[in-house]
Amino acid sequence: MTRRYARSEKGKRAYGQAPKNQGKNVTMIGALSWANGFIAPMTWQGGTDGLTFRTYIETVLVPELWEGACVVMDNFRSHHVEGIREAIEAVGAKLIYLPPYSPDFSPIENCWAKIKTRLRTYAARTYDALNEAIADAIDEICQNDIIGWFTHCCYFAQCN
């Protein structure tokens, strides 16, 4: 990923370098928790299909869930693959699908925006460098960010 904007001295052009070839797509997936932060991150080269997403749910996300957790997903086609609901509910978590075309109700969309902004500053050019940059970007997510994203999407913590 490359920065979209640059700065320069007044009256001079800003110059930068960006590769012409785009290479393979890298997919990143993860979950956001009010209490535990960014959990269950995973990256791979290529796109997402139902089998890949189901494998992620069963092997990465479910082991990090807890009883009473609430998993909120949008209506992406691979999110509706058979077996996903059963895997999530088997650990005592609840699965909720957002209404169609409603990214405003998904706090993780704001999280992805912050991660992508940080990745542009790292300008990683290899898969390994990108994974390292992703780990650094995730580490920069703080509790105040998470609270702000959940509040912005109208989710509030329950007071005990």
CATH of the domain at 113: 3.30.420.10
SS3 content of the chain, % helix, strand, coil (to 5): 40, 15, 40
Q: Does some domain include residue 51?
A: yes
Q: Does some domain include residue 13?
A: no
Q: Does some domain include residue 142?
A: yes
Element (H, E) at 31: strand 26-33
Q: Does some domain include residue 15?
A: no
On the CB side of 148, how many CA atoms lie within 13 Å of its CA? 8
Q: Does some domain include residue 124?
A: yes
Gap between the Cα atoms of 122 and 118, Å rounded: 7
Q: Does some domain include residue 82?
A: yes
Residue-wise pLDDT tens for the chain (160 aa)? 666 777 888 998 887 777 666 778 899 999 999 889 999 999 999 999 999 999 999 999 999 999 999 999 998 999 999 999 999 999 999 999 998 888 889 999 999 999 999 998 888 888 999 999 999 999 999 999 999 999 988 876 553 3
Work out how many domains the chain is built from and give that number: 1
Gap between the Cα atoms of 49 and 77, Å rounded: 8
Domain extent at residue 52: 26-152
Q: Does some domain include residue 7?
A: no
Q: What is the pTM of this model?
A: 0.81
Q: Does some domain include residue 21?
A: no
